[in-house]
A and B are shown apart, each in its own frame.
Chain A
Amino acid sequence: MCQPIRLSPPLSDEDIENLRIGDRALITGAIYTARDAAHGRLISSLREGRELPIDLEGQVIYYVGPTPARPGQIIGTAGPTTSSRMDPYAPKLLALGLKGMIGKGKRSQEVKEALKKYKAIYFAPLGGAAAPVLISKTIKKCKVVAYEDLGTEAIHEFEVEDFPVIVVNDIYGGDLYEEGRRKYQILKSS
Protein backbone atom coordinates (compact mmCIF):
# COMPACT_ATOMS: atom_id res chain seq x y z
CA MET A 1 0.00 0.00 0.00
CA CYS A 2 1.31 3.44 -0.92
CA GLN A 3 1.82 6.08 1.72
CA PRO A 4 -1.24 8.28 2.09
CA ILE A 5 -1.08 11.72 0.46
CA ARG A 6 -1.19 14.65 2.90
CA LEU A 7 -3.69 17.40 2.12
CA SER A 8 -4.37 20.71 3.82
CA PRO A 9 -7.22 22.95 2.64
CA PRO A 10 -7.36 25.31 0.82
CA LEU A 11 -6.63 22.80 -1.96
CA SER A 12 -5.02 23.91 -5.22
CA ASP A 13 -5.60 22.71 -8.79
CA GLU A 14 -2.28 20.91 -8.50
CA ASP A 15 -3.41 19.00 -5.39
CA ILE A 16 -6.49 17.87 -7.31
CA GLU A 17 -4.59 16.91 -10.50
CA ASN A 18 -2.40 14.57 -8.45
CA LEU A 19 -5.29 12.55 -7.04
CA ARG A 20 -6.59 9.34 -8.63
CA ILE A 21 -9.41 7.02 -7.56
CA GLY A 22 -8.33 4.64 -4.81
CA ASP A 23 -5.69 7.05 -3.51
CA ARG A 24 -5.67 7.42 0.23
CA ALA A 25 -5.21 10.82 1.75
CA LEU A 26 -4.97 12.35 5.22
CA ILE A 27 -6.57 15.76 5.62
CA THR A 28 -5.28 18.15 8.24
CA GLY A 29 -6.72 21.62 8.79
CA ALA A 30 -10.16 23.19 8.55
CA ILE A 31 -13.11 21.58 6.77
CA TYR A 32 -16.78 22.63 6.77
CA THR A 33 -19.86 20.55 7.44
CA ALA A 34 -23.08 20.96 5.50
CA ARG A 35 -25.98 18.66 4.72
CA ASP A 36 -29.53 18.93 3.39
CA ALA A 37 -30.90 22.02 5.15
CA ALA A 38 -27.60 23.96 5.06
CA HIS A 39 -27.25 23.29 1.33
CA GLY A 40 -30.81 24.51 0.83
CA ARG A 41 -29.95 27.78 2.55
CA LEU A 42 -26.64 28.26 0.71
CA ILE A 43 -28.39 27.87 -2.62
CA SER A 44 -31.26 30.21 -1.64
CA SER A 45 -28.67 32.83 -0.67
CA LEU A 46 -27.03 32.53 -4.09
CA ARG A 47 -30.42 32.76 -5.82
CA GLU A 48 -31.22 35.92 -3.90
CA GLY A 49 -27.81 37.41 -4.63
CA ARG A 50 -26.70 37.41 -0.98
CA GLU A 51 -23.19 36.65 0.20
CA LEU A 52 -22.46 33.13 1.50
CA PRO A 53 -21.52 32.79 5.18
CA ILE A 54 -18.30 30.95 4.20
CA ASP A 55 -15.76 31.48 1.43
CA LEU A 56 -15.70 28.22 -0.54
CA GLU A 57 -12.48 28.87 -2.50
CA GLY A 58 -10.29 25.75 -2.20
CA GLN A 59 -12.40 24.37 0.66
CA VAL A 60 -13.72 20.92 1.52
CA ILE A 61 -17.31 20.22 2.63
CA TYR A 62 -18.09 17.14 4.70
CA TYR A 63 -21.67 15.85 4.49
CA VAL A 64 -22.32 15.10 8.14
CA GLY A 65 -24.77 15.68 10.96
CA PRO A 66 -22.90 14.75 14.13
CA THR A 67 -24.39 13.48 17.39
CA PRO A 68 -24.15 15.89 20.36
CA ALA A 69 -20.89 15.86 22.34
CA ARG A 70 -20.91 14.40 25.83
CA PRO A 71 -19.60 16.82 28.47
CA GLY A 72 -15.83 17.10 28.13
CA GLN A 73 -15.80 15.77 24.56
CA ILE A 74 -15.31 17.77 21.38
CA ILE A 75 -17.95 15.99 19.33
CA GLY A 76 -20.08 12.86 19.33
CA THR A 77 -20.14 10.48 16.36
CA ALA A 78 -19.52 12.10 12.97
CA GLY A 79 -19.77 9.73 10.01
CA PRO A 80 -20.77 10.65 6.44
CA THR A 81 -24.33 10.88 5.18
CA THR A 82 -25.55 9.90 1.67
CA SER A 83 -24.07 12.35 -0.83
CA SER A 84 -26.63 11.94 -3.62
CA ARG A 85 -29.07 14.15 -1.71
CA MET A 86 -26.62 17.01 -2.20
CA ASP A 87 -26.18 16.30 -5.95
CA PRO A 88 -28.64 19.00 -7.09
CA TYR A 89 -26.64 21.66 -5.20
CA ALA A 90 -23.05 20.49 -5.68
CA PRO A 91 -22.27 21.84 -9.19
CA LYS A 92 -23.22 25.39 -8.12
CA LEU A 93 -20.87 25.22 -5.13
CA LEU A 94 -18.07 23.70 -7.24
CA ALA A 95 -18.45 26.64 -9.64
CA LEU A 96 -17.72 28.92 -6.68
CA GLY A 97 -14.39 27.23 -5.99
CA LEU A 98 -15.30 24.30 -3.70
CA LYS A 99 -12.51 21.75 -4.21
CA GLY A 100 -13.57 18.73 -2.20
CA MET A 101 -16.63 16.91 -0.91
CA ILE A 102 -16.63 14.06 1.59
CA GLY A 103 -19.61 11.75 1.88
CA LYS A 104 -20.80 8.25 1.10
CA GLY A 105 -22.47 6.75 -1.93
CA LYS A 106 -22.68 7.42 -5.64
CA ARG A 107 -22.73 10.87 -7.28
CA SER A 108 -24.80 11.91 -10.28
CA GLN A 109 -23.36 12.27 -13.78
CA GLU A 110 -23.80 16.06 -13.46
CA VAL A 111 -21.62 16.13 -10.33
CA LYS A 112 -18.96 13.94 -11.97
CA GLU A 113 -18.89 16.31 -14.96
CA ALA A 114 -18.62 19.31 -12.63
CA LEU A 115 -15.65 17.68 -10.86
CA LYS A 116 -13.82 17.58 -14.21
CA LYS A 117 -14.89 21.05 -15.23
CA TYR A 118 -14.00 22.83 -11.98
CA LYS A 119 -11.15 20.52 -10.88
CA ALA A 120 -12.47 19.06 -7.66
CA ILE A 121 -12.55 15.70 -5.89
CA TYR A 122 -15.14 13.50 -4.23
CA PHE A 123 -13.84 11.55 -1.25
CA ALA A 124 -15.33 8.98 1.10
CA PRO A 125 -13.88 8.55 4.56
CA LEU A 126 -11.59 5.51 4.65
CA GLY A 127 -13.91 2.51 4.93
CA GLY A 128 -16.92 4.53 3.79
CA ALA A 129 -19.32 4.88 6.70
CA ALA A 130 -17.81 1.88 8.48
CA ALA A 131 -15.99 3.81 11.17
CA PRO A 132 -17.86 6.97 12.15
CA VAL A 133 -16.68 6.79 15.78
CA LEU A 134 -13.04 6.44 14.71
CA ILE A 135 -13.42 9.36 12.28
CA SER A 136 -14.73 11.51 15.14
CA LYS A 137 -11.42 11.01 16.95
CA THR A 138 -9.63 12.96 14.20
CA ILE A 139 -11.77 16.06 14.90
CA LYS A 140 -9.80 18.25 17.28
CA LYS A 141 -11.99 21.35 17.36
CA CYS A 142 -15.52 22.10 16.35
CA LYS A 143 -17.42 25.36 16.10
CA VAL A 144 -20.63 26.49 14.46
CA VAL A 145 -19.99 29.11 11.76
CA ALA A 146 -23.47 29.54 10.24
CA TYR A 147 -27.15 28.60 10.58
CA GLU A 148 -26.92 27.76 14.28
CA ASP A 149 -30.69 27.27 14.46
CA LEU A 150 -30.35 24.15 12.29
CA GLY A 151 -28.75 22.25 15.18
CA THR A 152 -26.91 19.20 13.88
CA GLU A 153 -27.45 20.51 10.33
CA ALA A 154 -25.74 23.87 11.03
CA ILE A 155 -22.49 24.62 9.18
CA HIS A 156 -19.64 23.68 11.51
CA GLU A 157 -15.95 24.26 11.05
CA PHE A 158 -14.01 21.15 12.04
CA GLU A 159 -10.32 21.35 12.78
CA VAL A 160 -9.17 17.87 11.72
CA GLU A 161 -5.90 16.06 12.08
CA ASP A 162 -5.12 13.15 9.76
CA PHE A 163 -8.74 12.66 8.73
CA PRO A 164 -8.45 9.52 6.55
CA VAL A 165 -10.19 9.60 3.17
CA ILE A 166 -10.13 7.70 -0.10
CA VAL A 167 -10.68 9.18 -3.56
CA VAL A 168 -13.96 7.94 -5.07
CA ASN A 169 -14.32 10.28 -8.09
CA ASP A 170 -11.39 12.12 -9.66
CA ILE A 171 -11.11 14.67 -12.46
CA TYR A 172 -10.23 11.95 -14.97
CA GLY A 173 -13.71 10.34 -14.88
CA GLY A 174 -12.70 7.49 -12.56
CA ASP A 175 -15.28 5.99 -10.20
CA LEU A 176 -14.01 3.76 -7.40
CA TYR A 177 -17.47 2.24 -6.73
CA GLU A 178 -17.87 1.18 -10.37
CA GLU A 179 -14.33 -0.11 -10.64
CA GLY A 180 -14.56 -2.05 -7.35
CA ARG A 181 -17.79 -3.67 -8.36
CA ARG A 182 -16.53 -4.65 -11.81
CA LYS A 183 -13.78 -6.74 -10.21
CA TYR A 184 -16.12 -8.83 -8.06
CA GLN A 185 -19.45 -9.15 -9.85
CA ILE A 186 -20.46 -12.57 -11.10
CA LEU A 187 -22.56 -12.21 -14.21
CA LYS A 188 -25.43 -14.62 -14.83
CA SER A 189 -24.39 -17.22 -17.40
CA SER A 190 -26.93 -17.42 -20.18
Chain B
Amino acid sequence: MREIEAGKITDVISYLCKEANFSLPDDVLSAIKTAKLREESPMGKEVLSLILENAQVAEREKIPLCQDTGCVIVFLELGQEVIIKGDIYRVIDEGVRRGYEEGYLRKSMVKDTCFSRENTGDNTPAIVHMEIVPGDALKIIVMPKGSGSENMSRLSMLKPAEGVEGIIDFVVETVEIAGPNSCPPLIVGVGIGGSFEMAAYLAKKALLRKVQGKNPSIEVANLERELLERINHLGIGPQGFGGRITALAVHVETFPTHMASLPVAVNLNCYAARRKGAIL
Protein backbone atom coordinates (compact mmCIF):
# COMPACT_ATOMS: atom_id res chain seq x y z
CA MET B 1 0.00 0.00 0.00
CA ARG B 2 1.14 3.54 -0.69
CA GLU B 3 0.34 6.44 1.58
CA ILE B 4 -0.41 9.95 0.26
CA GLU B 5 -0.49 12.87 2.65
CA ALA B 6 -3.79 14.71 2.33
CA GLY B 7 -1.96 18.06 2.48
CA LYS B 8 -0.18 17.21 -0.77
CA ILE B 9 -3.58 17.00 -2.46
CA THR B 10 -4.43 20.51 -1.24
CA ASP B 11 -1.26 21.88 -2.87
CA VAL B 12 -1.97 20.14 -6.15
CA ILE B 13 -5.64 21.21 -6.30
CA SER B 14 -4.69 24.83 -5.56
CA TYR B 15 -2.09 24.79 -8.35
CA LEU B 16 -4.45 23.11 -10.83
CA CYS B 17 -7.27 25.62 -10.11
CA LYS B 18 -4.98 28.52 -10.99
CA GLU B 19 -3.27 27.00 -14.02
CA ALA B 20 -6.52 25.69 -15.49
CA ASN B 21 -8.03 29.17 -15.37
CA PHE B 22 -5.04 30.93 -16.93
CA SER B 23 -4.52 28.74 -19.98
CA LEU B 24 -6.40 26.61 -22.47
CA PRO B 25 -5.25 23.03 -23.06
CA ASP B 26 -3.04 22.62 -26.17
CA ASP B 27 -5.54 20.35 -27.92
CA VAL B 28 -8.30 22.99 -27.55
CA LEU B 29 -6.01 25.76 -28.85
CA SER B 30 -5.00 23.69 -31.82
CA ALA B 31 -8.66 22.85 -32.60
CA ILE B 32 -9.49 26.58 -32.55
CA LYS B 33 -6.58 27.29 -34.94
CA THR B 34 -7.84 24.61 -37.33
CA ALA B 35 -11.37 25.97 -37.04
CA LYS B 36 -10.12 29.43 -37.98
CA LEU B 37 -8.75 28.07 -41.25
CA ARG B 38 -12.07 26.35 -42.03
CA GLU B 39 -14.45 29.12 -40.96
CA GLU B 40 -16.00 30.93 -43.94
CA SER B 41 -17.80 33.72 -42.11
CA PRO B 42 -15.60 36.84 -41.76
CA MET B 43 -17.13 37.61 -38.35
CA GLY B 44 -16.62 33.98 -37.30
CA LYS B 45 -12.95 34.17 -38.29
CA GLU B 46 -12.58 37.40 -36.35
CA VAL B 47 -14.12 35.80 -33.25
CA LEU B 48 -11.74 32.83 -33.46
CA SER B 49 -8.76 35.21 -33.79
CA LEU B 50 -9.95 37.12 -30.74
CA ILE B 51 -10.26 33.87 -28.76
CA LEU B 52 -6.64 33.00 -29.59
CA GLU B 53 -5.36 36.47 -28.77
CA ASN B 54 -7.34 36.50 -25.52
CA ALA B 55 -5.87 33.13 -24.52
CA GLN B 56 -2.33 34.36 -25.22
CA VAL B 57 -2.73 37.49 -23.10
CA ALA B 58 -4.37 35.55 -20.24
CA GLU B 59 -1.57 32.98 -20.17
CA ARG B 60 1.18 35.60 -20.36
CA GLU B 61 -0.28 37.85 -17.68
CA LYS B 62 -1.61 35.03 -15.47
CA ILE B 63 -5.16 36.34 -15.50
CA PRO B 64 -8.22 34.16 -15.96
CA LEU B 65 -9.09 33.76 -19.63
CA CYS B 66 -12.79 34.07 -18.77
CA GLN B 67 -14.41 35.92 -15.88
CA ASP B 68 -16.54 32.86 -15.21
CA THR B 69 -13.88 30.87 -13.41
CA GLY B 70 -16.55 28.30 -12.80
CA CYS B 71 -17.68 25.73 -10.40
CA VAL B 72 -14.75 23.40 -9.67
CA ILE B 73 -15.38 19.87 -10.89
CA VAL B 74 -12.72 17.44 -9.68
CA PHE B 75 -12.25 14.02 -11.22
CA LEU B 76 -10.22 11.59 -9.15
CA GLU B 77 -8.94 8.20 -10.20
CA LEU B 78 -7.87 6.65 -6.94
CA GLY B 79 -5.65 3.56 -7.13
CA GLN B 80 -6.98 0.86 -4.85
CA GLU B 81 -3.51 0.43 -3.35
CA VAL B 82 -3.45 4.03 -2.13
CA ILE B 83 -4.24 5.16 1.39
CA ILE B 84 -5.09 8.83 1.80
CA LYS B 85 -4.15 10.14 5.22
CA GLY B 86 -6.87 12.65 6.08
CA ASP B 87 -10.30 13.71 4.84
CA ILE B 88 -10.05 13.87 1.06
CA TYR B 89 -13.13 16.07 0.50
CA ARG B 90 -11.95 18.56 3.11
CA VAL B 91 -8.45 18.86 1.60
CA ILE B 92 -9.86 19.29 -1.89
CA ASP B 93 -12.03 22.20 -0.71
CA GLU B 94 -9.01 23.67 1.06
CA GLY B 95 -7.13 23.51 -2.26
CA VAL B 96 -10.00 25.26 -4.06
CA ARG B 97 -10.19 27.93 -1.34
CA ARG B 98 -6.46 28.63 -1.58
CA GLY B 99 -6.24 28.46 -5.37
CA TYR B 100 -9.16 30.85 -5.91
CA GLU B 101 -7.79 33.34 -3.38
CA GLU B 102 -4.18 33.24 -4.60
CA GLY B 103 -5.14 33.27 -8.26
CA TYR B 104 -7.54 36.25 -7.97
CA LEU B 105 -10.23 34.01 -9.41
CA ARG B 106 -13.93 34.80 -9.15
CA LYS B 107 -15.87 33.02 -6.45
CA SER B 108 -19.17 32.02 -7.98
CA MET B 109 -20.61 29.38 -5.65
CA VAL B 110 -23.71 30.29 -3.64
CA LYS B 111 -25.03 28.27 -0.71
CA ASP B 112 -28.67 27.73 0.10
CA THR B 113 -29.49 27.37 -3.60
CA CYS B 114 -33.26 27.75 -3.18
CA PHE B 115 -33.41 30.70 -0.83
CA SER B 116 -30.77 33.25 0.20
CA ARG B 117 -28.25 32.29 -2.53
CA GLU B 118 -25.51 33.88 -0.45
CA ASN B 119 -21.99 33.50 -1.88
CA THR B 120 -19.85 30.96 0.00
CA GLY B 121 -16.97 33.40 -0.42
CA ASP B 122 -14.32 30.87 -1.38
CA ASN B 123 -15.78 29.02 -4.40
CA THR B 124 -16.30 25.85 -2.36
CA PRO B 125 -17.62 23.25 -2.28
CA ALA B 126 -16.02 21.50 -5.24
CA ILE B 127 -18.01 18.82 -7.01
CA VAL B 128 -15.97 15.63 -6.74
CA HIS B 129 -16.28 12.49 -8.84
CA MET B 130 -14.18 9.58 -7.69
CA GLU B 131 -13.47 6.28 -9.40
CA ILE B 132 -11.49 3.49 -7.80
CA VAL B 133 -9.01 1.98 -10.26
CA PRO B 134 -6.23 -0.64 -10.04
CA GLY B 135 -2.75 0.57 -9.08
CA ASP B 136 -1.06 2.83 -6.54
CA ALA B 137 -1.45 6.27 -8.12
CA LEU B 138 -3.91 9.11 -7.64
CA LYS B 139 -4.88 10.97 -10.80
CA ILE B 140 -6.50 14.38 -10.34
CA ILE B 141 -8.16 16.48 -13.03
CA VAL B 142 -9.60 19.90 -12.25
CA MET B 143 -12.25 21.27 -14.61
CA PRO B 144 -13.45 24.82 -13.85
CA LYS B 145 -16.89 24.73 -15.49
CA GLY B 146 -18.63 27.96 -16.43
CA SER B 147 -22.40 28.21 -16.22
CA GLY B 148 -23.03 29.86 -19.59
CA SER B 149 -22.67 26.45 -21.22
CA GLU B 150 -23.67 24.37 -18.18
CA ASN B 151 -27.07 26.10 -18.04
CA MET B 152 -27.90 25.13 -21.63
CA SER B 153 -27.16 21.42 -21.05
CA ARG B 154 -30.05 18.93 -21.09
CA LEU B 155 -31.03 15.35 -20.33
CA SER B 156 -33.82 13.28 -21.80
CA MET B 157 -35.12 9.79 -21.10
CA LEU B 158 -35.88 8.78 -24.68
CA LYS B 159 -37.94 5.78 -25.65
CA PRO B 160 -35.84 2.88 -27.00
CA ALA B 161 -37.91 3.06 -30.23
CA GLU B 162 -36.57 6.54 -30.88
CA GLY B 163 -33.15 4.95 -31.48
CA VAL B 164 -30.14 6.65 -33.00
CA GLU B 165 -32.28 9.16 -34.90
CA GLY B 166 -33.88 10.24 -31.63
CA ILE B 167 -30.46 10.63 -30.03
CA ILE B 168 -29.19 12.75 -32.91
CA ASP B 169 -32.28 14.96 -32.93
CA PHE B 170 -32.05 15.58 -29.17
CA VAL B 171 -28.34 16.48 -29.24
CA VAL B 172 -28.69 18.79 -32.25
CA GLU B 173 -31.79 20.42 -30.76
CA THR B 174 -29.91 21.07 -27.52
CA VAL B 175 -27.18 22.96 -29.38
CA GLU B 176 -29.79 24.82 -31.44
CA ILE B 177 -31.67 25.98 -28.34
CA ALA B 178 -28.38 27.06 -26.73
CA GLY B 179 -27.53 29.19 -29.80
CA PRO B 180 -25.15 31.98 -28.85
CA ASN B 181 -25.77 31.60 -25.09
CA SER B 182 -23.22 28.90 -24.45
CA CYS B 183 -20.30 30.70 -26.17
CA PRO B 184 -19.68 28.59 -29.26
CA PRO B 185 -17.55 27.07 -30.70
CA LEU B 186 -18.54 24.29 -28.34
CA ILE B 187 -17.24 20.98 -27.21
CA VAL B 188 -20.29 18.77 -26.87
CA GLY B 189 -20.22 15.96 -24.31
CA VAL B 190 -22.86 13.28 -24.81
CA GLY B 191 -23.62 10.46 -22.38
CA ILE B 192 -25.86 7.66 -23.62
CA GLY B 193 -27.18 4.80 -21.51
CA GLY B 194 -26.75 3.69 -17.93
CA SER B 195 -29.34 5.40 -15.75
CA PHE B 196 -30.53 8.99 -15.30
CA GLU B 197 -27.46 10.08 -13.29
CA MET B 198 -25.00 7.86 -15.15
CA ALA B 199 -25.85 9.49 -18.49
CA ALA B 200 -25.14 12.94 -17.02
CA TYR B 201 -21.86 11.75 -15.52
CA LEU B 202 -20.79 10.21 -18.85
CA ALA B 203 -21.61 13.46 -20.67
CA LYS B 204 -19.42 15.41 -18.27
CA LYS B 205 -16.62 12.83 -18.45
CA ALA B 206 -16.78 12.99 -22.25
CA LEU B 207 -15.64 16.63 -21.98
CA LEU B 208 -12.33 15.46 -20.50
CA ARG B 209 -11.30 13.74 -23.73
CA LYS B 210 -8.77 15.50 -25.94
CA VAL B 211 -10.53 17.33 -28.73
CA GLN B 212 -8.87 15.33 -31.49
CA GLY B 213 -9.68 11.98 -29.87
CA LYS B 214 -12.36 9.59 -31.06
CA ASN B 215 -14.43 6.99 -29.25
CA PRO B 216 -12.63 3.61 -29.72
CA SER B 217 -15.83 1.99 -31.05
CA ILE B 218 -16.15 2.61 -34.80
CA GLU B 219 -19.94 2.85 -34.56
CA VAL B 220 -19.79 5.43 -31.77
CA ALA B 221 -17.02 7.35 -33.57
CA ASN B 222 -19.27 7.47 -36.66
CA LEU B 223 -22.09 8.82 -34.50
CA GLU B 224 -19.73 11.50 -33.16
CA ARG B 225 -18.84 12.48 -36.74
CA GLU B 226 -22.47 12.64 -37.83
CA LEU B 227 -23.44 14.71 -34.78
CA LEU B 228 -20.60 17.17 -35.43
CA GLU B 229 -21.66 17.54 -39.06
CA ARG B 230 -25.33 18.08 -38.17
CA ILE B 231 -24.41 20.61 -35.47
CA ASN B 232 -22.17 22.52 -37.84
CA HIS B 233 -24.99 22.65 -40.40
CA LEU B 234 -26.98 24.75 -37.92
CA GLY B 235 -25.04 27.86 -39.00
CA ILE B 236 -24.86 29.28 -35.45
CA GLY B 237 -21.12 29.85 -35.79
CA PRO B 238 -18.53 31.31 -33.42
CA GLN B 239 -20.32 33.24 -30.63
CA GLY B 240 -23.58 32.79 -32.54
CA PHE B 241 -22.88 35.45 -35.16
CA GLY B 242 -23.28 32.89 -37.98
CA GLY B 243 -20.73 30.54 -39.48
CA ARG B 244 -19.60 27.03 -40.23
CA ILE B 245 -18.00 26.20 -36.89
CA THR B 246 -20.57 25.84 -34.12
CA ALA B 247 -18.76 22.95 -32.43
CA LEU B 248 -15.12 21.90 -32.41
CA ALA B 249 -15.93 18.34 -31.39
CA VAL B 250 -18.62 15.96 -30.18
CA HIS B 251 -17.54 13.32 -27.68
CA VAL B 252 -19.90 10.44 -26.99
CA GLU B 253 -19.56 7.99 -24.09
CA THR B 254 -21.90 5.04 -23.72
CA PHE B 255 -22.89 2.50 -21.05
CA PRO B 256 -25.28 -0.48 -21.05
CA THR B 257 -28.80 0.39 -19.96
CA HIS B 258 -32.15 -1.14 -18.91
CA MET B 259 -34.19 -2.66 -21.76
CA ALA B 260 -36.89 -0.04 -21.22
CA SER B 261 -34.51 2.96 -21.16
CA LEU B 262 -32.57 5.22 -23.45
CA PRO B 263 -31.13 8.06 -21.35
CA VAL B 264 -29.28 10.78 -23.28
CA ALA B 265 -27.47 13.65 -21.59
CA VAL B 266 -25.82 16.56 -23.38
CA ASN B 267 -23.28 18.59 -21.43
CA LEU B 268 -22.16 21.64 -23.38
CA ASN B 269 -18.77 23.25 -22.92
CA CYS B 270 -17.88 26.65 -24.30
CA TYR B 271 -14.65 27.31 -26.21
CA ALA B 272 -13.02 28.00 -22.82
CA ALA B 273 -12.85 24.26 -22.20
CA ARG B 274 -10.46 24.31 -19.29
CA ARG B 275 -8.96 21.30 -17.59
CA LYS B 276 -5.67 20.56 -15.94
CA GLY B 277 -4.47 17.32 -14.42
CA ALA B 278 -1.72 15.81 -12.29
CA ILE B 279 -0.73 12.34 -11.12
CA LEU B 280 0.46 11.74 -7.55
Contacts and interface: CB of A to CB of B under 8 A. Distances in A.
Contacts of B147: 82
B237 A131 contact: no
A131 B242 contact: no
Interface stretch (B6-14, B101-109, B217-225): B101-109
B242 A180 contact: yes
A181 B66 contact: no
Interface string A34-49: 0001000000000000
B181 A180 contact: no
B106 A67 contact: yes
Contacts of A177: 179-180, 240-242
B65 interface: yes
Contacts of A180: 41, 43, 235, 237, 240-243
Interface in A37-86: 37, 64-70, 76-79, 81-82, 84
Given A177-B180, A181-B235, A184-B237, A65 B47 contact: no
Interface in A72-120: 76-79, 81-82, 84, 104-106
Interface residues of A, number: 45
Nearest to B242: A180
A183 B108 CA distance: 37
Contact of B236 (A79, A134, A179, A181): A181
Contacts of B239: 104, 124, 127-130
A170 to B, nearest CB: 15
A78 B43 CA distance: 22
A185 B67 contact: no
What bracket does the count of chain B residues touching chain A fall in? 35 or more
Given A130-B47, A180-B242, A186-B233, A104 B66 contact: no
A126 interface: yes
B88 interface: no
A9 interface: no
Given A70-B63, A77-B64, A127-B47, A105 B181 contact: yes
Interface in B38-69: 40-41, 43, 46-48, 50-51, 53-54, 57-58, 61, 63-69
B30 interface: no
A141 to B, nearest CB: 18
Interface in B225-267: 233-244
Contact of B54 (A130, A153, A188): A130
Interface string B101-143: 0001111100000000101010000000000000000000000
What 4 pairs between A and B have smallest CB-CB spacing? A180-B242, A128-B239, A185-B235, A184-B235
23 contacts: A65-B67, A65-B106, A77-B65, A78-B67, A79-B66, A82-B148, A104-B181, A105-B148, A130-B48, A130-B54, A130-B239, A133-B61, A133-B65, A134-B50, A152-B108, A153-B119, A180-B235, A180-B242, A181-B236, A181-B237, A183-B242, A185-B235, A186-B235
